Structure formats: C-alpha cells, structure tokens
C-alpha cells in the first residue's frame, strides 16, 4: 500500500499562494481558514537581505500529537499515512489544536454556510445554481472515504468541528494529486508514495538535503522540505495574513 508524503522544494517556490487558493476552492473551506498557508519570509539587514517562501500544509505526522489527545478518536492515522479527521465524530474540544505544534487546525467557530465571503443568498443566483451552501460546492466532499468509510474530506462541514488539510483524500482516490500540488506553477510541491523508492518524492529525498519542521518535537512529519533552511527566530514573516475568526 502506498504511504503518502509531500516534498516541498523551497528553491522553486515563488510565494504566489496559488496553492492556498486552490486548496480553499477544492475543499470549500470557510473564510479565514488556510489549510495550506504560505509564509513569506525575510532575513538579514539591508542590503544583505534575503526573501524566501514556505508553504505549510498539515504535516500528517507519523507520531501525531493531535491523534494522541483526541478523546473520541475523531483524529486518526490511516494506513496510507494520512492524518484524518472524522467530522461526524469530532466533538469540538480543540485538544488537537492545542497539541499541534504547527498550527494547522482550523475550528468552525461560525456556521460554515454563513462564512463564505459573500452573501450568496441571492435569488438570481439561486435560479442558476440552486441552493448550494457554497456556490462552487465540490460534490465529492460529502462522501465517505477509505476502507474505514468515514467522512473525512473537505471543509465547512459543521459549526463546532475542527478541520485541517486532508492531503485531498477525495482526489487521491481518483488518482489525482492534492489540489496544492496540482496547481503549483513551478511544481515546487511534490506528492507521492514515500514507500516506493522509485517515486519522485523518494528520489528527491535521496538526492537532496532536506529538513522537516520542528524535527526536535519528535512528531515525524510526512512533509519534507528541500532548499533553504528551517525557519529560526531571525527569520521575520512579511505580508502575514491576519483574519478575524
């Protein structure tokens, strides 16, 4: 069985944030939720300054702190390496959010249907597209996935539920790349089977130096970075996205 992982080449990332938007459209995540977030960094002082970028999805850790703290088993590891969230089982305790050192969990504080950027309750539009809760609703997201047949795809499921990057589990079953990897203009985001030595991701990890975020936390992330270096306290975030949730 494939065991998936992601390799992000920071030497190729232009920081355009297309992956963030592709994720939001594909997964119908509500306003203020960025399952994929692209950091824009600056370090050094003028004129010895460097600018670089770092996409941050969920790390899908093998030793996932969020899974350990979930009191109801809503957050769980799948055999294919994905760290999944069963929306039907989640009780909204937010322990996972506290336990995660990467800040990748997004809680539905509001009713998702009222949190999609615009007032979609428009009779002219309803005539055209019907009464979708979000006008570009992806029909794949309500299905159950995996041998376990649990509802683990997509965002905006219900108020009081925790959500995060799913590695686009609904696309994987169709043989498609996650939305972020598929759209990346410079192909900086690679996704594939880390157990297959011939996969592109495995080859990249053999050929190039790489690092994982907060290696010292012992979380064993399934997301690897090549190029640049791990962020440290001397790296400043620029063009930070701040939203009200």
Partner 1 sequence: MSLSRRDFLKVSGVTGGALVAASRLLRLETLTAAGAESLQVEEKYIPTTCWIGKQDCGMLARVVNGRVVKLEGHPANPRNNGTLCPKGVGQIMSFYDPNRVKTPLIRTNAKGVPGEWRKASWDEALSLVAKKMNAAREKGGSKFVWQKGRSKAKKFYDKAFVAASGAFKLHHGAFCSDAGYRALEYTLGLHAVLHPDFKYTRYLLCWGWNVTNAGGNKFCWLTWPQKLVEAKERGMKMVAIDPRQRSAAHFADEWVPIKPGTDLALALALCNQLIANDTIDREYLTKYTNAPFLVGPDGLFLRAEPEGEEEAGAPLVWDTVSGAAVPYTAEGIQPALEGEYTVGGQRVKTAFELFKAHVAEYTPEMAAEVCGIEAAQIERMAREIGENAMIGSTITLDGHTMPYRPVGIMAYHMAQQELGFQAVRAMVMVMMLIGSIGAVGGQFSDFTWKEYKNWAKFEHLKVQDETNLYLKDSKFFPINSNNSSVVAHVINNLSEYGLDDEVVPDVVILHHVNPLGSFPDRNENFEAYKKIGFVAAIDPWISRTADYFADVILPAATIEKYEGPISASDFYTDAETLRIPPMDPLFDSKGDIDIYIDLCEAAGILYGEDGYIAQINKQLKLEGEYALPLDQKPEVRDIFDRYARSKGLEGGIEFFEKNGVNIKGPASVSKVYPYAMEEPFAGILPHRFYGESLLVAQNDMKAAGADEIYWRDYTPFPTWRELTAAQSPAEYDLNLISYHMIEFKQSRTPVPLLIEMAPKVFVEINPATARAKGIADGDEVWVESHNAITGETRKIKAVARYREGIRPDTVAMPHHYGEYVKHPWVKGQGPSPNELFFTGEGYVAQTADQTYLVRVKVTKA
Judged by the rule CB under 8 A, the positions of this chain that interact with partner 1 are 2, 10-12, 14-18, 20-22, 24-26, 31-32, 42, 44-47, 49-53, 117-120, 122, 124-125, 128-130, 132, 135-140, 143, 172, 174-177, 181-187, 191-193, 200, 228, 236, 238-239, 241, 243
DSSP 45-61: -TTS-EEEEEEE-----
> Residue 14 or residue 63: which is nearer to partner 1 going by CB?
14
Is residue 226 a contact partner of residue 200, using CB atoms and an 8 Å limit? no
Beta carbons within 8 Å of 141's beta carbon, 6+ residues apart: 27, 28, 153, 154, 155, 170
Nearest C-alpha neighbor of 84 from the set 157, 1, 181: 157
Least Å distance between CB 139 and partner 1? 5
Exposed/middle/buried for residue 216 (C-beta within 10 Å: 0-12, 13-18, 19+): exposed
Least Å distance between CB 75 and partner 1? 25
Least Å distance between CB 211 and partner 1? 16
> Residue 148 or residue 239: which is nearer to partner 1 going by CB?
239
Least Å distance between CB 204 and partner 1? 12
> Residue 17 or residue 60: which is nearer to partner 1 going by CB?
17
> Residue 80 or residue 86: which is nearer to partner 1 going by CB?
80
> Residue 119 or residue 216: which is nearer to partner 1 going by CB?
119
Exposed/middle/buried for residue 209 (C-beta within 10 Å: 0-12, 13-18, 19+): exposed
> Residue 65 or residue 163: which is nearer to partner 1 going by CB?
163
Beta carbons within 8 Å of 140's beta carbon, 6+ residues apart: 153, 154, 170, 171
Least Å distance between CB 15 and partner 1? 6
Query: Apex CA 182: angle with CA 181 and CA 185, to 5°?
Result: 85
Least Å distance between CB 91 and partner 1? 29
CA 118/CA 238 separation, integer angstroms: 27
């Amino acid at each position: 069985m494939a065991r998936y992982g992601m390799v992000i080449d920071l030497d190729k990332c232009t920081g355009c944030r297309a992956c963030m938007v592709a994720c939001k459209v594909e997964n119908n995540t509500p306003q203020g939720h960025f399952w994929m977030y692209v950091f824009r960094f600056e370090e050094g002082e003028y004129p010895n300054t460097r600018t670089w970028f770092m996409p941050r999805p969920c790390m899908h850790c093998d030793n996932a702190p969020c899974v350990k703290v979930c009191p109801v088993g809503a957050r769980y590891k799948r055999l294919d390496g994905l760290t999944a969230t069963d929306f039907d089982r989640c009780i909204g305790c937010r322990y996972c959010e506290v336990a995660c050192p990467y800040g990748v969990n997004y809680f539905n504080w509001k009713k998702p249907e009222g949190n999609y950027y615009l007032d979609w309750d428009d009779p002219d539009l309803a005539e055209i597209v019907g009464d979708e809760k979000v006008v570009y609703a992806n029909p794949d997201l309500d299905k159950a996935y995996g041998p376990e047949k649990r509802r683990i795809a997509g965002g905006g499921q219900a108020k009081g539920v925790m959500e995060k990057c799913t590695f686009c589990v609904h696309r994987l079953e169709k043989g498609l790349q996650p939305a972020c990897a598929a759209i990346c203009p410079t192909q900086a985001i690679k996704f594939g089977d880390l157990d297959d030595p011939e996969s592109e991701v495995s080859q990249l990890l053999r050929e190039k130096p790489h690092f994982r975020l907060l290696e010292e936390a012992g979380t064993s992330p399934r997301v690897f970075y090549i190029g640049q270096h791990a962020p440290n306290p001397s790296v400043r975030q620029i063009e930070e996205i701040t939203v009200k949730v």
